[in-house]
Amino acid sequence: MIEDKMLILLRQGRISKWFSGIGQEAVAVGATLALDSDEYIMPMHRNLGVFTGRKMPLDKLFMQWQGRKNGYSKGRERSFHFGSNEHHICGMISHLGPQLAIADGIALAHKLRKEDKVSLAFSGDGATSEGDFHEALNVAAVWGLPVIFLVENNGYGLSTPSSEQFICKQIADKGIGYGMKAITIDGNNLLEVYHELSAARKYCIEEQNPILVECMTFRMRGHEEASGVKYVPKELFEIWGEKDPISNYEKYLLESGVMDEMLMNQIREQHRTYIEKSLETGFAEPPVVPNVQEEMNDVYAPHVHVQVAAQGEKRPLKLIQAITEGMAESMKRYPNLVLMGQDIAEYGGAFKATEGFVEQFGKDRVRNTPCVKVPLLVLPSVYRSRDLSR
């Protein structure tokens, strides 16, 4: 109902952009309900169900979508390019693949803390062709990270069909190629998504390993409203229209006696009232008035510089020795500090800057990365306190 309202507002010119998730609702809703409320999710454009599933106030969401000051990012983004640390949602990165590395980092933090938690990153079929996707899967598999990679396979990366994206039969095959468990499920069946994601979460925690879940689904609108759907064969809309997740779930609830038409209409009316009231509040918000000092304060954390004079006897060191001692001092001072890099563990690094660190601090904190480009760095206590909406 929110989607329908937003499309009307778009046609009226009252909003300027909307990424519709009509046809894919079961994936976002089912996955969100399968996780604990304090487990981080990295959503995408069409995952409205993640935000409503985490019970984010609708009036504040409307403020966000309109770029108003009291939205979640003070008017800095619209659409779904934002997150909320309070609701454990990490804001979408527009080229999508990098979100998977963030999920790796959060999962590593859970693993090091020995917490029975997972992280979940959404991806589309198009993003599975990005290098970030492959790096994130490889890191998660090698390090045994409790992360769920959820791929919404709707058949298109914008307008490029999946047949031109990859040659394997299913995207799940890519996960198997990295040595991780991978499954393909019906992404339009809400109950199947919920049960399979619940089982995936249990697997990640018990086995301390990642999993790739490919959800077969379809978007009934364009990539975004301006792009249209002319590139999609008409018969696909007929086929997937019969698999609509909402109408089929409503039918199931009615046939099973869980709900009747009267109750369903009551729920619809409650939602309609809630949506209209939230819209009024959102549209009543005034436009943002820029404030340079406030913007600077939001970019740079408050800091008072304290000059610390050197103590003790001076001694000559080579630069590499100073770097080694500096890192060692930090590793001792901050027990949540983790070093990652190519060949830095037992080998000690190409310049021997971390020689002996594994013996001193352990392999959990001194990690060889399985790829040249290091995609993440984690301080396990930081992600709880930093504002991920920035």
Tens place of pLDDT per residue across the chain (390 aa): 999 999 999 999 998 888 899 999 999 999 999 999 999 999 998 899 999 999 999 999 999 999 999 999 998 887 788 999 999 999 888 878 889 999 999 999 999 999 999 999 999 988 898 899 999 999 999 999 999 999 999 988 888 888 888 888 899 999 999 999 999 999 999 999 999 999 999 999 999 999 999 999 999 998 878 778 888 999 999 999 999 999 999 999 999 999 999 999 999 999 999 999 999 999 999 999 989 999 999 999 888 999 988 888 889 999 999 999 999 999 999 999 999 999 999 999 999 999 999 999 999 999 999 865 544 444 444 444 444 433
Q: CB within 8 A of 193, min separation 6: which ones?
A: 26, 27, 29, 30, 31, 34, 185, 186, 187, 215
What DSSP state is assigned to residue 175? H
Does domain 320-390 match CATH 1.20.140.10? no
Beta carbons within 8 Å of 354's beta carbon, 6+ residues apart: 324, 327, 339, 341, 344, 345, 348, 366
Q: Tokens for 379, please give them.
A: 């301080």
In the numeric block, the tokens 């990690």 are attached to: 367
Using an 8 Å Cβ cutoff, are 184 and 214 in contact?
A: yes
> What's the one-letter identity of residue 91?
G
d(CA 363, CA 357): 9
Distance, in Å, from the CA atom of 120 to the CA atom of 107, rounded to the nearest integer, reads 9
Structure tokens at 126: 């198009």
- The answer to whether the beta carbons of residues 102 and 147 sit under 8 Å apart is no
The pLDDT score that the predictor gives to residue 390 is: 36
Compute the CA torsion angle 172, 174, 178, 179 (nearest 10 deg). Answer: 30
- Which CATH number does 2-283 carry? 3.40.50.970
Q: Which residues pair with 315 in a beta bridge?
A: none
Q: Which two tokens stand for residue 280?
A: 């009024």
Give the integer Cα–Cα distance in Å for 190 and 27.
7
Cβ atoms 148, 181 nearer than 8 A = no
Euclidean distance between CA atoms 124 and 153, whole angstroms: 6
Closest listed residue to residue 86, CA positions, set 129, 133, 38, 34 = 38
In the chain, the amino acid numbered 161 is P
Helix (H, G, I), strand (E, B) or coil at 327: helix
The predicted structure's pLDDT at residue 76: 86
Write down the domain spans for the chain: 2-283, 320-390
**Residue 152: exposure state from Cβ atoms within 10 A (0-12, 13-18, ≥19):** buried
Size of the chain in residues: 390
Quick one: DSSP state of residue 239?
H
d(CA 12, CA 257): 39
Give the 3-state secondary structure percentages of the chain, helix then strand then coil, rounded to 5: 45, 10, 45
In this chain, the answer to whether the domains covering 2-283 and 320-390 adopt an identical fold is yes
